């Protein structure tokens, strides 16, 4: 049995960006994660040992968010690679990384990129 595990709205104050003020002051970033894996054993056993530990997935994402990148594409791809390396049971991973108030010449609440491991 396949299932989708999701962590939505993970907030981080991080230092991604090309501009000096982005690297110095940081910004609010939000990560939305989903991963597809076999959930049959966990669904039957009701035992965390048979499931993907959401807290461990969060820790992998947090570690990648703590490392500054110039581009959110780079940070997002690092998260995809790190999660798939740490949790090979995921057959598909999708990560959306959003940056609050991106530095553009007009009003923009968020900029986002979504990367999948297909």
- Side-chain-side CA neighbours of 103 within 13 Å: the count stands at 14
d(CA 45, CA 97) in angstroms, rounded, equals 33
Q: Which of 2, 4, 99, 107 is catalytic?
A: 99
**CATH code for the domain in which residue 28 is found:** 3.30.1130.10
d(CA 22, CA 8) in angstroms, rounded, equals 24
Inform me whether the pLDDT recorded for 118 exceeds 80.
no
Per-chain mean pLDDT for the chain: 96
The number of folded domains in the chain is: 1
d(CA 76, CA 98) in angstroms, rounded, equals 9
Residue 35 pLDDT: 98
pTM, two decimals, is 0.94
Write the pLDDT tens digit of every residue in 65-111: 999 999 999 999 999 999 999 999 999 999 999 999 998 999 999 99
Per the annotation, the verdict on 99 as an active-site residue is: yes
The pLDDT confidence band at residue 49, using thresholds 50, 70 and 90, is very high
Residue span of the structural domain in which 12 resides: 2-116
Cβ-based neighbours of 114, under 8 Å, separated by 6 or more: 76, 94, 95, 96, 97
């Amino acid at each position: 049995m396949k299932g989708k595990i999701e962590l939505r709205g993970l907030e981080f104050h991080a230092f991604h960006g090309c501009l000096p003020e982005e690297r110095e002051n940081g910004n609010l970033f939000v990560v939305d994660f989903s991963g597809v894996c076999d959930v049959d054993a966990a669904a039957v056993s009701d035992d965390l040992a048979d499931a993907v530990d959401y807290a461990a997935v969060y820790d992998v994402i947090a570690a990648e968010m703590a490392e500054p990148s110039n581009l959110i594409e780079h940070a997002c791809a690092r998260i995809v690679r790190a999660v798939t390396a740490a949790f090979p049971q995921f057959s598909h991973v999708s990560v959306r990384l959003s940056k609050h108030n991106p530095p553009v010449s007009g009003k923009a609440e968020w900029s986002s990129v979504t990367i999948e491991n297909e």
